[in-house]
Amino acid sequence: MKKRTILFLLCVAPITCTPEMSAQNVIPHPQRMTVKEGKLDISSYLSFKTNLTGKELGDMVEYIKDTPLRIDYSAEEGLNKCLTMEIDKENELGDEGYILKVGASGINIYAQTSAGLFYGLQSVLQLAEEDNYNSIKYVEIFDKPRFEYRGLHLDESRHFSSTEFVKKQLDALARYKMNRFHWHLTDGAGWRIEIKKYPRLTNFAAWRPYETWKEWWNANRHYCNQDDADAHGGYYTQEEIREIIDYAAKRHITIIPEIEMPGHSEEVLAAYPLLSCSNDMYKNSDFCIGKEATFAFIEDVLDEVIDLFPSHYIHIGGDEAAKSGWKTCPDCMKRMKEEGLKDVDELQSYMIHRVEQYVNSKGRDIIGWDEILEGGLAPNATVMSWRGEQGGITAAKSGHKVVMTPGDFCYLDSYQSDPSSEPEAIGGYLTIEKVYSYNPVSAALNDEQAEMIIGVQGNVWREYMPTLEHTEYMIYPRILAIAEVGWTMPENKNWNNFRERVNNEIPRLIREGYNPYTLSADIETPMRIDYNKKEIKVALECERTGINIHYTTDGTEPNTNSPIYEDSLTVKGTMHLSARAFSEGKPVGKVLRKDIDFHKAIGKKITLKTKYSPNYPASGEYTLIDGYHGGKGYNDGKWLGFLNTDVDAVIDLGEKTRISRISTLGMQAKGPYVWLPQYIKIQTSNDGKKFKDLDTLTHDIPTDREGVVFHDFVWEGKTTARFIRIYAKIVDIEGGWIFLDEIVVK
């Protein structure tokens, strides 16, 4: 299970808007695109002209033949309009860039490589769709990617897919100019790649007596034999893998295999228990690093993997090793003594160094999750930064290459919309807008260090994706945002423009047989607070386009006669806002009902007697009385996080004040150990010294409740006071968070 116990706050870089951007439906957005007057008729055949030769020519023709473009390959000189694909070494396009010119004479693509020509072709295909491949607007594009690595990661262990499914995803990646597929082929829930030397990996460790990961996880987490009647799972044969690699290569996608070590290896150790510290099945999750047999096994497996996969990188995992068995294992202790390793972190690092040397000796490099930094990073390793960005920043500063995949922006297993109306996910909350906002180059890096950031990747962990349909639902459309983050320069990105293009793309994904999330029709209410004017500006926003937002401010339900939202609303005091999206006169999405208050504590003084966590500081203690409410995820910068402590806050209203309501919202998400307070005690005082109890607010939500739950702790009555003390008691569970967003005083 991905533990997600380490939670980082990441700052969202502001998006620069380029107002003149065209919403021409190309994803990712090209760096420079000029749409011109006129269009080229492509309803009849174009001839084909190219200086590609050999396999590159064969692959390109084979690919184009599968598209709706009408090309006559035999009519080079015969037809007056032409598709030209020309390798031109003279230009500034790098390994993947292209120039596309569509004019009266035809479609001309220039690039230094066949990959560049292929990406030019992808832009042609997207542009031609607008008129069902009958015409294409005259256009000039100069385009090349921001990053060399633009990836999707797919977990095959928790739930296994199929050759056909993988090829379908590769088709989509190619369309969005993505070029890496990180294939997570081994993990505790099942081994998924045929290794000829170790048949028990695939006739035993690839099978379990439960269909879904969740059933298996909640039962005994045992494996079974392939030929057992109730065996579920599977693996890719080497022949299938070769076929998939070839399919990907024709789409200019490199497949990077991941073989997990030393942790997440329960399945290997069940099949080959002698590779564990205990020599027993179902006891350890980590390989024993003391035994030479472990290295013999890993080298044998890597031999077959390297033989199959031509990728420069071999991913060796490295994440979340428990490291516990090593502390008492005689073999591991002996290894540590002999090698002068002072702790288990260094023992892990010993293993990664040794495996790196082996992989390097075969002419390849390793890439691993950011835990491979612990105990010292192997000299040529590339780091995949998932526990926030810090690992990546540290690696880049020490001259290592980095792929950024921080959980808060790149984990496509998080909820993408209101968890209460979404199928169960692992936790977290990551809207497509937030994915889109990501900038893989942290401000903490100077220009030279920034060069070490080679790209970005969306990660799909499938604990809670039991079906292929559901897997696609989580991938699309968020992967389109990853594609644009990876390709398009920040100054050419624009959320509203992207939102338009993604909305246009969704029907096409559906037509092509994908199962995307169709974006939320619910209303979000970003606010701006003016403390001097004592007013709040509220915007009403929606992921969907092509809708009208109608709203009311008197508590009644909005309908098509209610005002249409155009510009931000101004709130002084309290507004009882209701809003809903309507499409063609019919309501879509949920009704938003929200009281927006410039309440009595905003802008007053607050003192915290307990400390908030530096990982979730939001904007400090004033977060609790700044008027801004948190959203559905604790990591949006509006929730103040307290780790392993009660919350004790005193608000000074400045003068004796009449109070009729005090409330604060709490959140619970069991996965990442975020708990509602056991209770919240409210006290008041007039001198700030002697407090008297006003009320103690409790709730009845159990800590084992699945998913994300919110609870509003509310006191209502009549009192007067200058000081209010809020005391939130943490649950009696080892370790955990309390998140509060605002203490509302009316």
Chain residues binding Zn ion by CB under 5 A are 277, 288, 290, 329, 331-332
- DSSP bridge pairs for 317: 261
Rounded Cα distance, 148 and 145, in Å: 7
Is the Cβ of residue 358 or residue 386 nearer to ligand ACM in the bound state? 386
Sheet hosting strand 574-583, strand order edge to edge: 548-552, 574-583, 586-597
Task: For the CB of residue 2, give the shortest distance to ligand ACM in the complex, in Å.
Answer: 4
Identity of the residue, 189 or 288, whose beta carbon is nearer to Zn ion in the bound complex: 288
Q: Which of residues 386-405 bind ligand ACM (CB under 6 A)?
A: 386
Q: Does 438 bind ligand ACM (CB under 6 A)?
A: no
Q: What is the DSSP letter of 563?
A: P
| Residue among 345, 339, 448, 337 nearest 401 (CA) | 448
Q: Report the nearest approach of ligand ACM to the CB of residue 319 (Å).
A: 4
| Rounded CA separation 257/263 (Å) | 16
Measured from the CB atom, the residue of 106 and 672 that comes closer to ligand ACM is: 672
Are 457 and 182 in contact, with CB atoms under 8 Å apart? yes
Q: Decide whether 112 or 276 has the Cβ nearer to Zn ion.
A: 276
Which of 96, 258, 266, 320: binder of ligand ACM (CB under 6 A)? 320
Q: How far is the CB of 689 from ligand ACM (least distance, A)?
A: 49
Residue 537 has φ and ψ, to the nearest 5°, of -100, 125
List Cα–Cα distances, 238 to 162, 163, 195, 244, in angstroms.
13, 12, 8, 10
The footprint of ligand ACM on residues 640-659 (CB under 6 A) is none
Judged by DSSP in three states, 344 sits in helix
Distances (CA, A) of 502 to 32, 93, 252, 480: 19, 26, 23, 8
Q: Which contiguous run of DSSP H or E holds residue 713?
A: strand 708-729
Q: How far is the CB of 321 from ligand ACM (least distance, A)?
A: 10
Compute the least distance from the CB of residue 318 to ligand ACM, in Å: 9
Among 56, 156, 320, 413, the one annotated catalytic: 320
290 contacts which partner out of ligand ACM, Zn ion, none, CB within 5 to 8 A by kind?
Answer: Zn ion
User: For residue 266, what are the contacts with CB-CB under 8 A and spacing of at least 6?
Assistant: 188, 221, 282, 284, 285
**Is 211 a known active-site residue?**
no
Question: Which of the following is catalytic: 56, 59, 96, 187?
Answer: 187
Q: How far is the CB of 460 from ligand ACM (least distance, A)?
A: 11
Q: Which is nearer to ligand ACM, 290 or 391 (CB)?
A: 391
* CA 60, 64, 66, 71 torsion-angle sign: negative
At which residue do the structure tokens 């992989």 appear?
Answer: 359
Of 59, 96, 260, 319, the residue at the interface with ligand ACM (CB under 6 A) is: 319
Q: What is the DSSP string of 171-229?
A: HHHHHTT--EEEEE-EETTEE-B--TT-THHHHTTTEES-SSHHHHHHTT-----TTST
Residues 369, 409, 436, 675: which binds ligand ACM (CB under 6 A)?
A: 369
Distance CA 121, CA 109 (A): 8
239: left (phi over 0), alpha (psi -120 to 50) or beta: alpha
CB of 412 or CB of 480, closer to ligand ACM: 412
275 binds, among Zn ion, ligand ACM, none (CB under 5 to 8 A by kind): none
Active site residue 143: no
Query: Which entry of ligand ACM, Zn ion, none binds 558, CB below 5 to 8 A by partner kind?
Result: none
Smallest gap, in angstroms, from Cβ of residue 309 to ligand ACM?
Answer: 20
Residue 320 annotated as catalytic: yes
369 versus 691: smaller Cβ distance to ligand ACM: 369
Partner whose footprint covers residue 329, from Zn ion, ligand ACM, none (CB < 5 to 8 Å by kind): Zn ion
Contact status, residue 193 vs residue 199, Cβ threshold 8 Å: no
Both tokens assigned to 397: 């500063």
Residue numbers 279-308 binding ligand ACM by CB under 6 A: none
- What is the smallest separation between the CB atom of 665 and ligand ACM, expressed in angstroms? 29
What are the structure tokens assigned to 90, written together? 């003279």
Based on CB atoms, which residue is closest to Zn ion, 88 or 331? 331
Q: Which is nearer to Zn ion, 215 or 339 (CB)?
A: 339
Q: Which of 29, 159, 252, 264 is catalytic?
A: 264
Tell me the C-alpha distance between 405 and 418, whole Å: 23
Asked if 419 and 368 touch (Cβ cutoff 8 Å), the reply is no
Question: Residue 461 CB, nearest distance to ligand ACM (Å)?
Answer: 6
Instruction: Give catalytic residues, as residue numbers.
Output: 187, 264, 320
Q: What is the contact surface with ligand ACM in residues (CB under 6 A)?
A: 2, 319-320, 369, 386
